[in-house]
């Protein structure tokens, strides 16, 4: 063995030891900050997955999926991700645009021929729906919730909503609308000639290896679903889950943080992750098309665009179905992303995500402004901008 090799071996071993120590310290810091937030907010369980710049995914589960039976949250526990579904819907629209099946400038009346649509709604475009600038109310006028839990919504009801004489348009600007993404999800079905879930499966879930992601749940899936807990309940008590029915493009996906991280990894670098969705189409979702009162928060097609005080850009979306919450976000400046799924509603998942990212960066989680805390959820919205 040469002298150079003899000298190199201890150096390589030392570098490996240092890297392992740094990784262990990072893991401990993330776990400590996540468990602190969970204790403060009384969040029963959560999954956290961080996408590293090299594409590796760090994944951990914390707490319990079921408080009564002390069942642990695991990597394959299912969570209803709510409005994070909207990024999937926008991605499918962008892919269909790239195929020239549809155009962002297409109107509702063009995409839904034969459907009775009020004249003032007929010219709404797909781009306006995707950017929440269609001046639609947050929810369809005929959506039914029972005891705070959404009931299945049908295509027939969606069509009926478009001719409802009682709908009042909101003021111009960005106004978050589940109704708009319900319509976009149906446009995907019409353009692709398949059920929304089948399009998701063929174009996103299967190519990206998202084996836990779905909309319709089997009895076995139901047994893997984490118990739902509402933030206003103290002590925490089990609550019923949401059921989306035929119309699900605004919030119907059930998944795991690990699966969401696979989708996030593709969104970070679509041009280098193989042929799944159109790379240019995914990039087009990021462009800021609406701004808040200051350049701290803006909106793209689906994505919220947050600018931190140091100028770092984060693209993100949160979701909630009362008893579950979720978050996905990444910085195109660092190629680091985070996905969180939790079995408590409200802003639980986003707060965990900020804590995990803060620990990953080696600092405390950045304080979010009131504007940045505008929550995208399947059931309600405090608008950002």
- What whole-number percentage of the chain has pLDDT above 90? 75
How many C-beta atoms surround the C-beta of residue 211 within 10 A? 13
What does the alpha-carbon distance between residue 192 and residue 147 come to, in Å, rounded to a whole number? Answer: 35
Q: Over the stretch 9-39, which tens digit does the pLDDT of each residue have?
A: 565 555 567 767 777 888 999 999 999 999 9
pLDDT of residue 26: 85
Mean pLDDT, residues 59-83 taken together: 98
Strands 149-150 and 57-66: unpaired
Total residues belonging to the chain: 385
Q: Is the pLDDT of residue 182 over 70?
A: yes
193: left (phi over 0), alpha (psi -120 to 50) or beta: left
b/e sequence 121-141, b meaning 16+ C-beta within 10 Å: beebbbbbbbbbbbbbbbbbe
Q: Over the stretch 81-121, which tens digit does the pLDDT of each residue have?
A: 999 999 999 999 999 999 999 999 999 999 999 999 999 99
Q: Is the pLDDT of residue 205 over 70?
A: yes
Q: Is the pLDDT of residue 192 over 70?
A: yes
pLDDT of residue 320: 96
Eight-class DSSP state of 226:
P
259 pLDDT band, cuts 50/70/90, is very high
pLDDT of residue 290: 87
Please tell me the pTM assigned to this model.
0.90
Mean pLDDT, residues 125-139 taken together: 97
What does the alpha-carbon distance between residue 95 and residue 251 come to, in Å, rounded to a whole number? Answer: 19
HEC sequence for 24-86: HHHHHHHHHHHHHHHHHHCCCEEEEEEECCCCCEEEEEEEEEECCCCEECCCCCEEECHHHHH
Q: Is the pLDDT of residue 187 over 70?
A: yes
pLDDT of residue 370: 38
Q: Over the stretch 233-257, which tens digit does the pLDDT of each residue have?
A: 999 999 999 999 999 999 999 999 9
Q: What share of the chain is helix, strand, coil (3-state, %, to 5)?
A: 35, 20, 45
């Amino acid at each position: 063995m040469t002298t150079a090799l003899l000298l190199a071996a201890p150096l390589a071993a030392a570098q490996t030891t240092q890297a392992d120590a740094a990784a262990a310290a990072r893991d401990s810091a993330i776990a400590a900050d996540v468990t602190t937030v969970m204790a403060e907010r009384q969040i029963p369980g959560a999954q956290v997955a961080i996408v590293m710049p090299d594409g590796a995914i760090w994944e951990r589960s914390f707490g319990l999926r079921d408080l009564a039976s002390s069942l642990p949250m695991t990597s394959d526990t299912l969570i209803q991700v709510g409005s994070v579904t909207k990024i999937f819907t926008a991605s499918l629209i962008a892919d269909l645009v790239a195929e020239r099946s549809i155009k962002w400038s297409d109107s509702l009346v063009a995409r839904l021929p034969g459907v009775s649509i009020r004249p003032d709604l007929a010219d709404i475009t797909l781009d306006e729906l995707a950017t929440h600038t269609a001046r639609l109310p947050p929810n369809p006028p005929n959506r039914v919730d029972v005891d705070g839990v959404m009931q299945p919504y049908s295509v027939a009801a969606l069509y009926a909503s478009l001719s409802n004489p009682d709908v009042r348009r909101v003021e111009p600007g960005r106004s978050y609308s589940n109704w708009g993404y319900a319509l976009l999800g149906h446009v995907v079905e019409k353009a692709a000639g398949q059920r929304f879930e089948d399009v998701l499966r063929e174009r996103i879930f299967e190519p990206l290896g998202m084996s836990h992601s779905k909309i319709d749940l089997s009895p076995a899936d139901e047994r893997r679903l984490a118990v739902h807990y509402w933030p206003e309940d103290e002590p925490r008590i089990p609550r019923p889950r949401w059921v989306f029915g035929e119309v699900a493009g605004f919030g119907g996906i059930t998944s795991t943080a690990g699966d969401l991280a696979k989708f996030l990894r593709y969104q970070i670098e679509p041009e280098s992750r193989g042929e799944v969705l159109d790379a240019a189409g995914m990039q087009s979702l990021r462009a800021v098309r609406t701004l808040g009162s200051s350049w701290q928060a803006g909106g793209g097609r689906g994505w919220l665009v947050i600018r931190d005080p140091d100028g770092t850009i984060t693209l993100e979306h949160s979701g909630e179905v009362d008893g579950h919450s979720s978050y996905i976000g990444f910085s195109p400046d660092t190629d680091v992303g985070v996905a969180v799924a939790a079995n408590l509603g409200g802003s639980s998942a986003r707060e965990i995500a900020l804590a995990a990212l803060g620990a990953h960066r080696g600092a405390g989680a950045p304080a979010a402004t009131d504007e940045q805390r505008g929550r995208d959820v399947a059931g309600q919205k405090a608008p950002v901008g």
